[in-house]
Structures are given as structure tokens and as C-alpha cells.
Amino acid sequence: MMGDILGRTNHPDPYNYLNFERPQLKNGAGAGANINKETRNIAQKLEESGKNIVVFWGSQSGTAEGFAQRLAREISLRWGQESMMADLSDYDPATISEIPSTKLAIFIVSTYGEGDPSDNTADFWNWITKAGDVSLSNLHYVAFGLGNTNYKFYNRVVDVIVEGLEKLNAQALMPVGRANDAEGATEEDFMAWKDSLFTIFKEKLGFQEVEAKYIPTLNVEEDESLEPIDLHHGEPSNQTDSHKGAAQSSPVRTLSITNSRELFTASDRNCLHMDVDLSDQPELTYKTGDHLAIWPTNPDSEVELLLEVLGLSSRRDVPVIIRPVDPATKITLPTPTNATALLRCYLEICAPVNRDNVRDLAQFAPTAEAKAYLTKLGQDKEYYADFINRTHLNLGRLLQLACPGQTWSNLPLSYLVETLPHIRPRYYSISSSSVVSPRKPSITAIVSSTPLPDNSNEMVHGVTSNYLLAISQQTRSQPHPHGITYHLNGPSNALEGGKIFAHIRRSKFKLPITSKTPLVMVGAGTGLAPFRAFLSERCQVQKIGKEIGQMILFFGCRTPDEDFIYREELEEFQSILGDKLRLVTAFSRKEGTPRQYVQDKVSEYGEDVVRLINEGASFYICGRAGMAREVEKVVGSTMQKTKGWSDDEVNNWSKAVKKKNKWQEDVWG
């Protein structure tokens, strides 16, 4: 089906990596002048770079991007095929029609929210759903989607894209693959699909499998001539995101935390309220309902462990420059930098090591025993699954466990840069009103420290929430409750005095334009955060004499004594708003009472909910996706019973209110 592909020698500008270099570097300005000359025609890019397989990715959180990177590398190393990964937003969508039949396009795309495409998929999504007189009959493709059955529109994005490709006569080599993260199966779903793809490579395309040995696509080279001022020491940047994504977000800035307090009374759990000051950053503004993105760093213990195991402790601060071996490789990490910054601020070293990487690491093992151990762990699915249920398998711990006391001097830093996920910000719903507190947004963050299912003595600590807890504890001159430490002063002491790197991301989760519009709000746990902001704003609007619509807030937590966050503030809102606000609570672990969840209360107060909906209420849900799905089911069945609707009428109503933004969700997991 696919003919032989001849290599090309007319490569495009190989200096794209200089986009991340400091302007102080003497060669940076001249070479960087060509950065924007990269073509946006993917067919031309494939031809110029001599590639015959392109792995497109569309990702909001970075998972799909990571899969695309892994797949492109493995295709090159294991099958000897020239491949590249491509951000969907980097190329004009219509140019896929120019990809010849001798090449293969692979799409790996995620779905999030209400069946929405990622920011960098949006342009391609718009094109593929509207393209008319276009033929893709020459395009051979495969597709894999990332989704979660807790969301109503499970894997909608990949399904819509595949439907569009088929309408334009593109030719699929195999059925679409779908990952389901509801049970944490995304990784294994991807690997099973990848194995099926490789069977197609062998049986349909006639590719010959070769022994997979690591061949770097980039070089990480020491350069001691560079001065500290030339380096990136850990400062994050979000300006390499897709055009749409960048438009939705402010630049990353250094922000002060002016107030931090504990919201839980339980001794073994933490939930933080933090006020952040925008006063020193006049260009940063937010609107009620927006998100604050926090850029974390990795814990000191994990950084030190990995530096030691890799034999880099003594050279941790030596400057390194990251350069592509292949000009088609896009460098997305700041350079030049050093090993400390890479492991502390730029790479997700706390993430579990997937089976693919476990298997690949065997080739760098210092001993035959370590090689055999990693090979078995990487190849045996059941053995691996059992192992990770008993221990948290991040890179440093794995290397130490596989070969205690040995230095992995054969494991190059370039491998880590190529294979480890990059640190990305975590997004928190802003829990303050921009009307009431325009320069001091607040966030509400539950701290994640979870025992392993088969090993209650070992905890898996959420990176960002524990980083925030460490900052909060520092302001009280107290240690982190689990003894975790971080480099809280940040690169070049930029974060000294309780500061964070953060940016604002715009959200569609907004109050109605008119304050007379009724509201139905459903939140569980920290899902209360945006509703604290909504109610605060409505109180302020009422104070200046404007009419306020009826509101009902459903809030759920474990017990009224331990984790009923913002209880006093909600009571104050109730006092100010009077009969305009009804607060309905559900407690899942209240002693002496049956378990109740917010969806149970929505059902119990179904008549009131339907009445407000009939009066034009906007409906909001914030919390876990599984909860949101149950709430939608309850509301749908209540509407059906009240109005005598059929299933189709309920579905049509649901689509209509969402299209009008009368039903909004801010959900996760």
C-alpha cells in the first residue's frame, strides 16, 4: 500500500531550539531570525524532512502529546521508519489533503469537558467538521482517542475527527482505538492499541522490525563556557502553547501568596485556601469563574535521588544545551539550563514509569541482573500491574530498586528529556469574585496524599498540592506534615517570601449577564470553589440595589464537622441573600445517618430544580466527572417525569441548554 520513501537532504532551518535560548547567547539572535520560517504545510514538511509517518497530537493536559512522542520514537527505533510528531495547531489543516498515499498519518487526540477538543485541536476540528469539496482519498491514517467514561461525551473528539476523515474518503488502516481513564486504564489501552498498529505495520505494510536501540533525537551537551545569567534555572513559560491556548492564558508571572489558611478540621487531611496578589503584575486580570494555573516543582528528595542514581550530583549545576539531532524535532524545554533545573522544574520525575520505558531502560542497566529484572517487568503486564499496586514506581526509585548502590552512568540525560513528561501547570478554579476582590484572586486546593491500594504504609503525594502545602506551612514556620521539602525560594530566589509561578486561564464557566437569572449550583468538595465566588458576587450586586434571581446551592462533603469548607461564609451569604438562596447539604459519612451525595439531594429537591429551570435558570456543576454524570441523569429523569417527555425529548433539551450555555460544567477525573 505504501511505497518506498526516499530520504531528502534539503532540511529546513535546524535552529528552532534557539527559540528557548537566552538572548545573551551570542549566536542566538542571528540564528533565531529564521525561527518563524517553518512551513505550515504538513505535506511539505514531510517531504523536506524525509519523513513518511507523522503522528499528530491534540492534548490539553499533555498525555496525548506524550503518547505521540513515544510512538514516533518507537516507530523510528523499532521499525526503522522515518517519523515525526506534530502539534495539530502548527500546520494548516487543509494541507493534510496534500499528504501522498505513500505516507501515513496517525492522530492521537484527547477529549475533555463537554466533549470538547483541546485548544491545539480546535482549528483542525473546525476544518474537518466543515470541509466540503475536499478529497482525502490519498490519506492513509489510524487514530487513537483519550477519554473517560465518567464524562457523558466519552472520546467524542476522536469519533468526530474519524467521521470527518471518512466523509472525505480518507482510508483507515485499522479501527479507531479508544482509551478509558475511568479506571486508570489509559496507559494499557494505548499499549494494546500500539501493539495492534505494529501488527498492521508488519502484516499489511511489510515493515521489518529491527532491534530497538536508543538513538537520540536530541543532544544534551555540557558547555561550561556559559555563565549563570545565560541559563534557564527553572522559570516556566507557557508561550509555546498553541495560538488558541496562548490566547486563553496570561503569561506566567511571579505572584505573592498573601494569605493561606487550612479549611479542614480533620488532622489527617488538608484543604488550603490561598489568596494571591496581582498588584505587582498590572497586566494580569481575571474574571469570576476563571482558573489559576500553578507551576509546581518536584520534591527535593526525588530530585536528589535521581541526581545520585544517574551519577550527576557533582555536575548538577554544569550548563547544558539541548539541541535537536533531527531538524524535524521540536525542542519544547528551555535551553540552556542544567541538570538540577531539568529534574526539579522541567521534567515530571514523580510520574509512574510506563511499561514501554521500563523495557527500554533495560539497555542502560549497569548489571545483567538489573537488565533481566527490567526486561521482565516491562514485558509482563500482570507482573507490572501487581508491582505498581504495591509501590510508587517513579524513575529514581525504579533505577535504585533495579540496581541498589549502582550508578546508571550509561543512561544519558537526553533519554530523560526525550521520554519523561514535561512538568505542566495544575489548574484551580478561582474561588473569589473579580467584582469583590479584583486584585486578589483566591484558590481552594485539597492536598492529595493517597495510600497505595496494596500498601497502606506508602503514600502517593500529589506534586502540586503538596508543593502548595509546603508553602503554606513555611508561612507558619512549620514543616510539611509528611516531611516533604521543596526548593521554595525558586530559581535565583525569585519565589522567596512565599511566591509562586502562575498564570490566569480564561474559562467559559461564567455567571449570566443579568443578575436576575436564577442559578442552580451543584458542587462537591473543592467543587464549591467557583460557587463561593458566584455567591460573593451576587451579594455585592444586591448591596448596590440590583435585583437578584433565586438560587439553590447543593453542596456535598464527608461530614459537617471535618470538611464542610467555607461553612461560616456560606451562612453569611445566606444571611445577606435571605430567601434568594437555599443551601442544601449532603454528607456521605455523617455518623448515624445514611450516606447521601449531591445527586441524591438534587433528586429530593427535583421539583424546585425544575421550577427554576423553567424560569430560565442557569445550571452549574463543579467537581468530579462521575458526580456530574449522575447529577445530569437525575435532572434528566426529573424533567422527563415532570413534563412527560420521551428519552429523545430529554436528550434534545439537554443539547439545547448546553448550546445556549445554560448548563455549564467545570469537572475533572
Rounded Cα distance, 567 and 528, in Å: 11
281 vs 243, more confident: 281
In a domain, 208, yes or no: no
Same domain, 284 and 384: no
Same domain, 312 and 277: no
The pLDDT confidence band at residue 558, using thresholds 50, 70 and 90, is: very high
**Per-residue pLDDT, 456:** 66
- Domain closes at, from 505, 527, 543: 505
Listed in order, strand segments (DSSP E) in 478-587 are 499-505, 519-524, 551-557, 581-587
**Per-residue pLDDT, 388:** 85
Return the ∠ at Cα 347 (arms to 240 and 260), rounded to 5°.
90
Same domain, 177 and 324: no
The pTM of this model reads 0.89
User: 3-state class of 158 per DSSP?
Assistant: helix
Same domain, 260 and 190: no
- Domain closes at, from 452, 477, 505: 505
Backbone angles phi, psi at 294, to 5 degrees: -105, 130
In a domain, 374, yes or no: yes
Same domain, 310 and 292: no
What CATH number corresponds to the domain at position 632? 3.40.50.80
Q: Which domain holds residue 103?
A: 16-203
Backbone angles phi, psi at 117, to 5 degrees: -75, 155
Rounded Cα distance, 601 and 83, in Å: 53
Rounded Cα distance, 562 and 264, in Å: 6
Rounded mean pLDDT, 55-77: 92
Rounded mean pLDDT, 463-487: 95
- The sign one gets for the Cα dihedral 375, 380, 383, 387 is positive
Same domain, 555 and 568: yes
**Per-residue pLDDT, 30:** 31
User: 3-state class of 85 per DSSP?
Assistant: strand
Three-state DSSP string of 544-570: CCCCCCCEEEEEEECCCCCCCCCHHHH
Same domain, 335 and 435: no
In a domain, 123, yes or no: yes
In a domain, 264, yes or no: yes
pLDDT(20) > 80: no
Query: For 568-607, how does the pLDDT look when each residue is reduced to its tens digit (9 = 90+)?
Result: 999 999 999 999 999 999 999 999 999 999 999 999 999 9
Q: Are strands 83-87 and 104-112 parallel, antiparallel or unpaired?
A: unpaired
In a domain, 558, yes or no: yes
What total of structural domains would you count in the chain?
A: 4
Same domain, 640 and 597: yes
Rounded mean pLDDT, 66-92: 94
- Listed in sequence order, the residues at least 6 apart from 515 whose beta carbon sits closer than 8 Å to its beta carbon are 538, 541, 542, 546, 547, 548, 549
Q: Which of 106-115, 133-142, 575-584 has the lowest average pLDDT?
A: 106-115
Same domain, 96 and 169: yes
Same domain, 128 and 177: yes
Query: For 261-313, how does the pLDDT look when each residue is reduced to its tens digit (9 = 90+)?
Result: 999 998 889 999 999 999 999 999 999 999 999 999 999 999 999 999 999 99
pLDDT(22) > 50: no
pLDDT(131) > 80: yes
In a domain, 5, yes or no: no
Same domain, 152 and 194: yes
327 vs 226, more confident: 226
pLDDT(448) > 50: yes
**Per-residue pLDDT, 4:** 37
Rounded mean pLDDT, 632-652: 95
Same domain, 447 and 464: yes
- Domain closes at, from 384, 419, 454: 419
What CATH number corresponds to the domain at position 121? 3.40.50.360
Rounded Cα distance, 108 and 155, in Å: 11
Rounded mean pLDDT, 16-35: 38
For the chain, the average pLDDT equals: 91
What CATH number corresponds to the domain at position 255? 2.40.30.10
**Per-residue pLDDT, 246:** 59
